[in-house]
Structure 1
């Protein structure tokens, strides 16, 4: 009977320790607001196409067989793209963080890890991180023979802050 009670007590203590450990890990991740990077951070994006710190790395270059380009963009909190269009459209796959996406004339959408966004061909839109948490996304641009991106003006703070 004593062995059963000891085993039961050890089980309860072990579960309590694991529970505390999981809560502490969650708190640490929330406090850091750091993203789990899947790919290298890449090169800092130009101030002509981004507000804030955004980093791009190409993963798949288009060629004569695969006329598609794929890359990763890491947005620090508050960073965002300018308004832009893609002649053949774009697909975004959010791999970590929280951010925003807006098609011109429509409400701002909250996007997060697991979101998949289809940006229609030649439709003005922007995307980027939330004010407090960064965003990491894969971008897929098909049919690059039609062009990759046409960049417009920066998204104003007034527009960006409508998401808050």
Structure 2
């Protein structure tokens, strides 16, 4: 069993290459083989979001605070809230982040395939980000 002290959980800024707006990543982890699981706690300030990206084996998001938006390419934009869990299917191009007015924090959990948990793409346009959510 490994339980590192909370004080050892580093918080870093989300790289501008992969995020728009102010994002912090806390407690990023990668479990040792044979596990393929990695994850982190990610906080998005209002207006912040990921770039388009995909996960080779999908991703689970556990929303712990706030309100966010998400969209799979070609589909409607959805709103989600603290206490909800999202499943991003494998190899589906998508984005997620806070709403324009409310911060959001989630725990992100994904698995690696061939050593990579994510493929990053271009930034989400303001038009896509600000489109009306479906639910």
Same topology, TM > 0.5: yes
Matched, 1:98 2:67: yes
TM-score when scaled to structure 1?
A: 0.71
Larger Rg: 1
The partner residue of 1:156 within 102, 125, 129 is 125
**1:20-35 equivalence runs, <5 A:** none
* Alpha-carbon distance in structure 2 between the residues aligned to 1:162 and 1:123: 20
Greater share of residues in strand: 2
Greater share of residues in helix: 1
* 2:128 partner SS: helix
Using the TM superposition, name which of 53-62 and 43-52 deviates more: 53-62
Matched, 1:64 2:64: no
* 1:163 partner SS: coil
Q: Would the aligned equivalents of 1:41 and 1:74 in 2 still touch at CA under 8 Å? A: no
* Alpha-carbon distance in structure 2 between the residues aligned to 1:155 and 1:145: 25
Q: Would the aligned equivalents of 1:41 and 1:55 in 2 still touch at CA under 8 Å? A: no
Q: Which structure 1 residue ranges, 5 or more long, are not aligned?
A: 1-39
Q: Which structure 2 residue ranges, 5 or more long, are not aligned?
A: 1-8
**Larger RCO (CA under 8 A, 6+ residues apart):** 2
Q: Would the aligned equivalents of 1:41 and 1:73 in 2 still touch at CA under 8 Å? A: no
Q: Which runs of 4+ in 1 moved over 3 A?
A: none
* Alpha-carbon distance in structure 1 between the residues aligned to 2:95 and 2:110: 15
Alignment match, 1:47: 16
* Alpha-carbon distance in structure 1 between the residues aligned to 2:91 and 2:84: 21
Alignment match, 1:135: 104
Q: Would the aligned equivalents of 2:51 and 2:120 in 1 still touch at CA under 8 Å? A: yes
Q: Would the aligned equivalents of 1:57 and 1:73 in 2 still touch at CA under 8 Å? A: yes
Aligned residue pairs total 124
Q: Would the aligned equivalents of 2:53 and 2:120 in 1 still touch at CA under 8 Å? A: yes
Give the deviation of 1:139 after TM superposition: 0.4
